Amino acid sequence: MEIVFEVKNSTGIITLNRPKALNALNLNMAIQFSDKLREWENDNKIERVLLLGEGNHFCAGGDVKSVHLSGPFSKLKQEFFSKEYSLNLQIKNFPKPYLSIWKGVVMGGGVGLSIYGDYRIATDSTKFAMPETSIGFFPDVGGSFFLAKLENNLGKYLGLTGEIVQGKDLINFNLATHYCPENKINNLISQFIIDGSITNYEIENSSFFTDEKLDFIDKNFSGNIHEIFNNIQNVNNQDGLLEKLQKKCPMSLAVTTLLIKNSNNRSLKNCLEIEYRLSQKMTNRHDFEEGIQAVLIEKHHKPKWEPKTIDEINNNELSSLFNDPIDNELKLQNSIYSS
């Protein structure tokens, strides 16, 4: 079974059970997840929910490889993103305590399954990232919602670079709500199952995002993608940042920048509906096919993007990705349970 449900002492426990695929979420899992949440929401015997990933990792994201292999303009592309984004909003609206244990990789769709819950436990192994610009896509599952809320252009930076966030920084940025050392995780889980309480341990490791780095990000990641590149070209090259960005999909960088820039005052519902329109267009561009092949299938990590650079981006195409309607727009309920 790819997803396992059990109940212990009034706690509904969901375990993502595809460890060989780093628990990547597929359509079947998303459907079962949504159905079970709806059942537990209406079950007075269930007081809280715990979300886990089987093995060493929480969830590496959505199963975009299957989405790619389904072919252009496929029904799976519509159904998967529609169900995934609906589930993201359902989790945000879920009225009972909802806790996720962030072991290992927490990326993309894995973030969407957890960040809208009440509690997110960072551990010593947590590797949090939104790496979609490497595959010709963009930070979805409400990425435009939560990244836009990070201060000092940090959300734009994380969305464009896909940089991994760990430890104390997850707490500092309010991405995680608590920290727990690896050898105490079972104790924390047991206590939550017993009475819903959570022990918050003190984290000792240092922050990777120093004040100097945050100041650099704030100053240089404002404006559109062309302004950001110009800023970075005119300062001391920190950590090979320019070269890292030049390897990402140019159209993904432009879309991500514009999406996050314009999402600061949008609701999660609105963000997800906009992202759905983008998902249906971006997954049918050459770059998505190229990115999945290069990064996830052949793993040579040398995709040939079209356009090759941000200077070759057609602004009309960029605008049409956001503004031109699609046949099946996603219309979400403000409350997933309302009629």
Task: For the chain, give every domain's residue range.
Answer: 3-129+167-195, 211-323
Is 117 labeled as catalytic in the residue annotation? no
Token readout for 30 is: 């998303």
Q: Which is the catalytic residue, given 62, 117, 159, 167?
A: 62
What whole-number distance in Å separates Cα of residue 211 and Cα of residue 147?
19
Token readout for 261 is: 């820039």
Q: Are 154 and 139 in contact (CB under 8 A)?
A: no
Average pLDDT over residues 213-226: 95
Average pLDDT over residues 248-254: 98
Q: One-letter amino acid identity for 223? A: G
Q: Which is the catalytic residue, given 63, 84, 140, 275?
A: 140
pLDDT tens profile 26-49: 999 999 999 999 999 999 999 999
Residue 319 has pLDDT above 50, yes or no: yes
Residue 339 has pLDDT above 60, yes or no: no
Respond yes or no on whether the N-terminal peptide bond of residue 307 is cis (omega within 30° of 0): yes
Report pLDDT for 136: 98
Q: Are 257 and 249 in contact (CB under 8 A)?
A: no
CA of residue 59 relative to chain centroid, distance: 10
Token readout for 283 is: 């997954």
Report pLDDT for 238: 67
Is 143 labeled as catalytic in the residue annotation? no
Residue 83 has pLDDT above 50, yes or no: yes
3-state secondary structure the chain: CCEEEEEECCEEEEEECCHHHCCCECHHHHHHHHHHHHHHHCCCCCCEEEEEECCCCCECCECHHHHHHCCCCCHHHHHHHHHHHHHHHHHHHCCCCEEEEECCEEECHHHHCCCCCCEEEECCCCEEECCHHHHCCCCCCCHHHHHHCCCCCHHHHHHHHCCCECHHHHHHCCCCCEECCHHHHHHHHHHHHHHCCCCCCCCCCCCCCCHHHHHHHHHHCCCCHHHHHHHHHCCCCHHHHHHHHHHCCHHHHHHHHHHHHCCCCCCHHHHHHHHHHHHHHHCCCHHHHHHHHHHHHCCCCCCCCCCCCHHHCCHHHHHHHHHCCCCCCCCCCCCCCCC
Q: Which is the catalytic residue, given 63, 84, 132, 289?
A: 132
Average pLDDT over residues 288-312: 97
Q: Are 59 and 23 in contact (CB under 8 A)?
A: yes
Residue 236 has pLDDT above 80, yes or no: no
Kindly indicate the confidence band of residue 205, based on its pLDDT and cuts at 50, 70 and 90. Answer: confident
Average pLDDT, whole number, for the chain? 95
Q: One-letter amino acid identity for 317? A: E
Q: Which is the catalytic residue, given 109, 117, 143, 159?
A: 109
Report pLDDT for 204: 87
Is 140 labeled as catalytic in the residue annotation? yes
Token readout for 293 is: 């092949």
Report pLDDT for 336: 44
What whole-number distance in Å separates Cα of residue 339 and Cα of residue 319?
34
Q: For residue 128, what are the β-bridge partners?
A: 106, 165
Q: What is the CATH number of domain 3-129+167-195?
A: 3.90.226.10
Residues found in the chain: 339
Residue 337 has pLDDT above 50, yes or no: no
CA atoms within 13 A on the CB side of 236: 5
Report pLDDT for 335: 57
pLDDT tens profile 155-171: 999 999 999 999 999 99
Range scoring the smallest mean pLDDT among 104-118, 191-205, 226-240, 260-274: 226-240
Kindly indicate the confidence band of residue 239, based on its pLDDT and cuts at 50, 70 and 90. Answer: confident
Phi-psi region for residue 78, left (φ > 0), alpha (ψ -120 to 50) or beta? alpha
Is 12 labeled as catalytic in the residue annotation? no
